[in-house]
Structure 1
Amino acid sequence: MRIRTRLLLLVLAVLVPAFLVAAFGIVYMYKEERAFHRENMRETVRALALVIDKEVARREALLQTLAASPTLDRGDFEAFYRYAQALAQGDAAIILHHINGVDQIINTRLPYGTPLPKLLPVARELRSRHPPDVTLITNLYMAPSGNGPSFGVQVPVKRDGKVVYYLMMGSTVKELQTVFSEQRLPREWHAGIVDRDGVLLARSKEPETYVGKQVRGDFAAALRTGEGFHEGRTLSGVPATAFFSRAPTSGWTFFVSVPSSVLKQPAEDAALLMAGISLFVIALTALAAIAVARRTARSVELLRRAAERLGRGEHIEHEHTGTLEIDAVNEAIAKAGEDIRNARASLEQRVAEAVASAERSQRALLQAQKLEALGRLTGGIAHDFNNVLQTVTTGLELARLRTTEPLAVSSLESCKRAVQRASELTRQLAVFGRVQDARLETIDPNRQLMEMASLLRSGLRADIDFQFDVPLQLWPVTVDPLQLELALLNLTINARDAMPEGGVLQLQARNETLRMQAGELAPGDYLRLTVADNGEGMSSEVLAKALDPFFTTKRVGKGSGMGLPQAYGFARQNGGTLILRSRPGEGTQAVLYLPRADRSVDTPRQDSRLPERKAGRETVLFVEDDPLVRDVVPAALQEAGFRVLCAADGEQALRMLDNGEQIDLLFTDIVMPGNLNGIELAQQARTRFPAVRVVLATGYTEQRVQLPDVRTLAKPYEVPQAVDALLDALGSR
């Protein structure tokens, strides 16, 4: 056999299998191309079906917003008409109608007040087949106002779970045409939307000709299955393959139709191209194999290096190799690297925020613990010291009643003023403790601030401009007026000292309602008092410690470090808070929040100086654990005409009541040793001996008094105050 024959046979041995493989590849390519186009149609139709539902959902959301309008609750249909007309878009009509489905109330296509036609039967019939409280989407109908083919979305308007109206938006099918223009379908494709009755709502090509027509019977039957392919003819008679999918919300069906010739052409072109490429590849098999091997090796090497950089957390550049799969993997690796870096940065930021939040919480906890410890210490001191002051006060009054010598009277009055001063100092100590009911008053902030204005202004230098911004209508608050005055005075003095070269200090009062939790403040109504200056300001380090007791940046002898803590303690004691905002060189704002009182302003008591009212020998059971107070107060009450019995604690007082003693009044201290404090004793006495009237006294207590018609005196009280309280209690009987 000749060598050329052998070579020919060898070439044929190579070419024939190659041609067979090429033929198989051409057939396979043809099928794959056809399947690809069908799948492309499927995904496009499904996506566009969801777009239809988005269009419907947008209209439904607009109607739900209108349905919640408060003008419907008031029955103000004219205001609702204007509101609905402002929200209506394009040729859309918004119709409010009765639940009978016939009578319209408003129609934005017609002027308000004009007679309205009956509602179209299409919505009424559709509603009759569905529950009353669901959203409905109509099929195509002809709008009576001349706007052509339309469709409607109807939602119920419910109040207290009951449907009271129906709200409907009528839109022309022209608005659906934008779905096709926005999707940019291939030129040979045409798409359409079919309602539940098989009528065309919209069509990408020649909508003016085909919208409103019924689709072919075989296609209509296929549409009932919900989704699938259909081989048939279009309304214009062109053989085509269509894929359709039903939108889940509206029940309408979206379809894409491609002429059969167009659908086959890409596959045939691909087959011819594959045949040519196969012939070319067969001729250059060896060279192509080498080139592909080199390119593949290079691509794999790029992936290896990208994986190494990913492991080190380095930035990865996306390099194109020309191989789609390898490029996709390379792109995924690059994106993963970027995501890892972003996640690491986000994690670091979250950790920093969490640390900052923990530090703020720790500072707040430490501040609360400091004030709690200081409150317990000062509260105990205030209780014992008030008992001492009570003894001194009553003793001075008894001495005053028994002497007329001028020098002695003058000395006694000086001593009383000293006791009053000591009492005020004790009240300042008690501000770090719990609320003292005996010292609280419901005040008119406007009047209180007006009275304090001259005092605050007198504490400022001439180079400071004092601005007083207090409106007339301020909510009442329940506070200790002296502590409020002291808190504002402390804030004013701090602001003054922060402006050594002068400046502007503003006191502003406002009512403010918090809708949600704000730091330490619960939602509710508050009186907001702001003391603002344009002075030196505070650094973040100083601001973090500004509310610590005894912390000060002033020189020795110029400040005690108790001004801001006193104001903060006062606000927290009354259910509010103090917020400081400051930056170096930008001044400071001290914002005091006090909760709005739930009762009216108290009438100021007139302080009687002499026991002008006398008792009629009524019996008072005086309960006091402090022997000094127990020695002097009964004597003063006897001077006022009472018969006085004494008990050292609650158990002894209860035994005296049980023994049948004829007792008219129970006058008891609140804080006492033993199993019964004054409040518990008063509760038992009022339950078991209803005829006995009760008056309480306290120097300091952490328990709020919640007994109706029971007056509480703050120690040290004067004898006339005690006599008035006891006689008032007798009068209430």
Structure 2
Amino acid sequence: MRIRTRLLLLILSILLPALVVASVAVWYVYQEQRKAEVAGVKEAVRALSLLADREVLAMEAVLRTLGAAGSLQRGDLRAFYDHARRVAPPEHSTIVIMDLEGRQLLNSRQPFGHPLPRGASNLMALRAARGAAGTVVSDLFMAPVGKRYDVAVQVPVAIGGKLRYYLAMGTAAERMVPLLVQQGLPAEWTATITDRDGRVIARSRDAAKYIGLTVRSALRARIRSGEREGVHQGVTLAGVPTMAFFSRAPTSDWTVILSVPLEEMRRPAIYAAAGFSIMVVLMAALSVAGARWYAQRTAVPIERLRQSAEALGRGEAVAAFASGMAEADAVSLALADASAEIRNNKADLERKVAEAVAAAERAQRALLQGQKLEALGRLTAGIAHDFNNILQTLSGALQLIPLTQDRARVQALAETCQRAIARATKLTGQMRAFGTVQDARLATVDPARAVRNTLAMLKSAVPGNVELAVDLPDALWPVTVDPLQMELALLNLVINARDAMPRGGKVSIVLRNTAHDDGAHGLPPGDYLCIAVTDTGTGMSPETLARALEPFFTTKAMDKGTGLGLPQAYGFATQSNGTLVLDSAPGAGTTVTIWLPRADGAAAVGDDMPPAAAPDMTAAAGLVLFVEDDPLVRETMLAALATAGFEVQAAASGEEALAVLESGAPVRQVFSDIVMPGTIGGVELARIVLNRYPDVRIVLATGYTDSRVNLPGVRLLAKPYDIAELFQALRQG
């Protein structure tokens, strides 16, 4: 909290008690004025209720006089009719004689002898509740003859000491209005007379508009409950917020309401409170202004100290200042000394940190380089070991062929060379799985069909004490993969599971459609095919699990495994834009899960591998331009194409092939390797031929490339390719 704020709070702490006392005093005066005003209004409403009863008593007096008339005592209703019309002219009042059952016998507003209506008032109901004697006053009702709102007073008539009739006098409700208007109430006040049900009989303002309406529901409930008097805060029928004072007249049982607007009730106290509040606010404003002025002068050195402290935190130089305040000047000098010390220490620390970071980076680089060299050593050693065995087989067989005259023996040696080549092809296929682009072998397949095609091979790979269970649900999503690599990955996983269960167990292969929406395992959200291979074997320790995907890493004996099974499966998964996840623990078995993204198109029909065919030695018409940078491959394939009867011309690079095409040679087909030295590789050469020579067909061959091939009409062959496959590709043009 700033010192200026503290000084302001000090001033306010002095003023606050005085403000509280003054506020209590204003509140006391306000309440006393309110009490006095409420008491005065209550007296006024009681007086009004007595005035309403006075009108009722006047009507009762008239009825008592009429009841004693000789004509009525003799039973001469005709003479009484004329007498009643003179005493109470029908344009103002109505005289009604009813029998003891409430039937009208005479109505001064109707012609004598004319059929009389039934009574519309509640006089007889009140009479039944209060007894035969005494006077009853009706609630507001709509007169059936005059079609206006009336009120009535009824008295009993006895003849010869025996009750004979009930005599009632009705008058228009609006005749009660002058009683209220003549009281000279303030213009904003409203006086209202209501009956027992809360309906308006008379009103001092806009009477014609509101007679017959009921007051607001809350006030009406209090009237109907029989409260004799009280105060009610609410809203009038005109929508004005008021304080309503009501009192019930003792004779008529009507309720007189005096509504005073809330603003009128509050105005005197509000004026007094406002005046005092203005005075208090002015005093407080002057006090705060003085405190601010003094605080400003006092806080300037403190503010400069704060700025110096912030500069110190940012590492900037801090200079001492003189403010005239001894404490602030001492702190400023201490900050300046601390600034110089911190800057010196910071420079020394930065130098030491830089040296430590440089040393750590050198150590990290050395560690990474060692790890890379170790991994590269295992990889190259494994490849060298396997390829040395293959080369040894090829070398021995080729050296024996010239020394052997027996054709059968030569044929056997040639078959040995073919098996060595097949073994090398398998090894390069496993190594190629670590790449990312294999367009020559990609196909959209039905995973269920692919698994069924390799099921026989998988079953033959497990012994009798291992159960192989496969779960292939319907409607599995197609995937775009290298089918042979997929079969090899499944075979490698099943063999690894078999080797992990030397005493037998169960291997389960489960395929499921899975929708990914959380980006788990580093995969983007989308639809994936999930292939899970689970065994009940020994499982892997955390150390083994951490290295399980390294090429040539194996826990098996040297003659039992190459260490390429799991790495090949991982390479297959990543090459197919998916991933492989390992889940294993010692004694709990292992689950290997391959996630493959759902293909956009449908699976190709008949994706089974066709049986190998014998080479068709029939040549195709036209010149074949063979582009290959490797001289041994070029020499071998030129001889094979020439032997098959193809007209062939060779080129050692993309630039040389382009020169042949531009020379006008009648080239019908271009057969080119993809990876070649120079600026024009096989893919770029194919694009040029498609653009400039649309009639020339293109066949590309690749062992591995890091470029995606997506050219219409271009066929791809994977190295090493079969000669029959090459001849077929060239003849299809």
Q: With structure 2 as the length reference, what TM-score do the two structures score?
A: 0.47
Q: With structure 1 as the length reference, what TM-score do the two structures score?
A: 0.47
